[in-house]
Chain A
Amino acid sequence: MESLNRNSGLDPMLSYANLTKDELVRLVKTYREYVRKIDGFSYRTVMDKWGNDEAFNCDLKVIEGTKHYEIEAITTVLGIQEPIIATCVASGSSNLTGDAVLIHSALNPFAKCKSIMLKSVLE
């Protein structure tokens, strides 16, 4: 593991390019957790106010609205060209492969699995 030390004061010019690879990996993992969290908190906030059916319906619309964005972003960033199952697995947006693949896919920053998401939100 690369040595990390971010305690030498503020670097006003610090950007992703200055981070080590290990730090970037951690940041991707942190950000993908945020993506699940904000979706989960949004779901729960709607559920608390208007009920689970409303939250579920709203979430379906959100997934529908963001699915294409997610797949396009992932395929562009990672240079994935074939619109096949591998692409869906990598983007975590497939219904073809099921939750297990979504959960365990290592390249899965945008995975949506309500059971683990709500569990993590409530932890």
Chain B
Amino acid sequence: MTEEVKDYSGPFDPDMKLENLSKEALMNLVRECSRLYLVLDGHWNTHVQAKYGWQEAFDFDMKVWETMQAYEPGRIAKALNIQGDDVSAYLKILQFMPAFPSSIYDIRWELIDENHGRITVDRCTSLEYFEREGKGGEEPICQIMEPCAFQWTVSAINPKMKVVPTKLPPRKNKDDVPHCVWEVSLDPGD
């Protein structure tokens, strides 16, 4: 039986499994998988845009994310044994969704009461990328795609929950923090 290893710098082991890696190695692997997930989407978008233009690439991404955002929450809930369909469950699932990576973005999570929550993104590296690019890409992404993406995710958990942005880019200046804020609510009488 292969013993636990802190990394895979040793010899090739045909029986190597994820379970044989140390916790630290697994944490690093999770981060890279999360990053690759977004990188892969970026490459698809880039190639569609290069051939068919910005609008087609945007429509393409909307379709892909609508499917993925509805698919992701259930898998995360299962992996981490998160049960329920309330605001708390949604926030816990979102903490580990690779499409909204807390290991890459600086995110604050608040459960205000059992039916209200708040997500504050103090730093979004995707926004910073669009700002550096200087083509205004943050406006359609942050103002059209992201509100849809948040709602697709929350609806997959509980169709009665709503996520509404209270602050979105574009930013006034580089010191304009947080980058975006989202209010989560569940109307129990809905």
Contact = CB atoms under 8 A, between A and B. Distances in A.
Most chain A Cβ neighbours within 10 Å, of B15, B19, B51, B64? B64
A100 interface: no
A34 B81 contact: no
What is the interface of chain A mostly: helix, strand, loop, or mixed?
helix
Most chain A Cβ neighbours within 10 Å, of B23, B25, B60? B23
B18 A25 contact: yes
A90 B72 CA distance: 25
Interface string A1-20: 00011110110101111010
Interface string B1-33: 000001111011001111101010111111111
Interface stretch (B107-115, B127-135, B145-153, B161-169): B107-115
B95 interface: yes
Contacts, number: 172
B33 A38 contact: no
B41 interface: yes
Nearest to B19: A25
Interface string A36-55: 01110110011001100000
Contact size range, A:
35 or more
A109 B36 CA distance: 10
A62 B44 contact: yes
A77 interface: yes
Contact of A24 (B6, B23, B91): B23
A122 B42 CA distance: 22
Nearest to B62: A45
A17 B52 CA distance: 42
B54 interface: no
B7 A7 contact: no
B67 interface: yes
Interface string B83-110: 1100010011001101000110000111
B82 interface: yes
A26 interface: yes
16 contacts: A7-B83, A16-B27, A30-B76, A33-B75, A34-B33, A34-B72, A35-B40, A46-B44, A58-B44, A62-B43, A62-B47, A77-B25, A78-B21, A80-B8, A86-B12, A106-B18
Interface of A: 4-7, 9-10, 12, 14-17, 19, 21, 23-35, 37-39, 41-42, 45-46, 49-50, 58, 61-62, 65-66, 69-70, 73-74, 77-81, 85-86, 89-90, 106-107, 109-110
Which 4 pairs between the two chains have the least Cβ-Cβ distance?
A79-B7, A86-B12, A31-B33, A79-B9
Interface of B: 6-9, 11-12, 15-19, 21, 23, 25-37, 39-41, 43-44, 46-48, 51-52, 60, 63-64, 67-68, 71-72, 75-76, 78-84, 88, 91-92, 95-96, 98, 102-103, 108-111, 117
